[in-house]
């Protein structure tokens, strides 16, 4: 009887569940450094389950795979990179919309007394940080030019790392 390749099945399952059917609210989520850390830990945990331990021939033991080894085996962008690019894609669509309520919500500033403490991270600022990570000279106005925006999105997919 032929044994199923559980590594391949787990790989396909993870890719389909996370990247194909991602929840649409994830692009509107203003993630914090803590959220990014938890997402990265979750992703590595799932990948370690899929790819299993690494056998060391010298010591005749199984060892835990290193993070770089996991990402190299997986061969796709991390979940944080995926979220960053999806946020930027959606931002480009909103920014190009004329007289849309979503654009008004993003550009409007509420004029009332500010609460104590540090202001909460707004979604627009998280997207700006993502743009600045990709290209220091780029601004949000670049979204009006579809070709240049598409190039920026391609560069964002190639860039690895956290959103914040």
Q: Give tens-digit pLDDT for 110-143.
A: 788 888 888 877 888 888 888 888 888 888 888 8
When divided into structural domains, the chain yields a total of: 1
Residue 15 lies in a domain: yes
pLDDT tens profile 43-60? 888 888 888 888 888 888
Residue 132 lies in a domain: yes
- Rounded Cα gap, residues 124 and 146, in angstroms: 19
Note the helical H segments in the chain: 6-14, 33-51, 67-74, 79-96, 101-107, 123-134, 146-158
Residue 16 lies in a domain: yes
pLDDT tens profile 73-90? 887 888 888 888 888 888
Residue 57 lies in a domain: yes
Given this model, what pLDDT does residue 2 score? 45
Residue 95 lies in a domain: yes
Residue 164 lies in a domain: no
Given this model, what pLDDT does residue 164 score? 44
Domain hosting 102: range is: 6-158
Q: What is the mean pLDDT of residues 77-105?
A: 84
pLDDT tens profile 7-55? 666 666 666 656 665 666 677 777 788 888 998 898 888 888 888 888 8
The model's pTM is: 0.73
């Amino acid at each position: 009887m032929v044994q199923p390749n559980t590594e391949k099945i787990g790989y396909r399952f993870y890719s389909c569940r996370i990247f194909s059917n991602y929840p649409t609210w994830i692009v509107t989520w203003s993630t914090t450094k803590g959220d990014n850390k938890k997402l990265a830990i979750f992703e590595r945990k799932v990948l370690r389950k899929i790819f299993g331990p690494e056998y060391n021939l010298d010591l005749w033991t199984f060892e835990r795979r290193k993070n770089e080894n996991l990402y190299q085996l997986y061969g796709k962008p991390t979940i944080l990179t995926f979220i960053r690019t999806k946020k930027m894609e959606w931002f480009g669509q909103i920014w190009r919309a004329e007289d849309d309520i979503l654009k008004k919500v993003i550009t409007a500033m509420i004029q009332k007394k500010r609460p104590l403490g540090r202001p909460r991270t707004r979604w627009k600022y998280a997207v700006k940080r993502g743009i600045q990570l990709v290209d220091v000279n780029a601004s949000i106005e670049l979204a009006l030019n579809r070709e240049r925006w598409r190039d920026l999105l391609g560069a964002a997919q190639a860039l690895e790392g956290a959103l914040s």
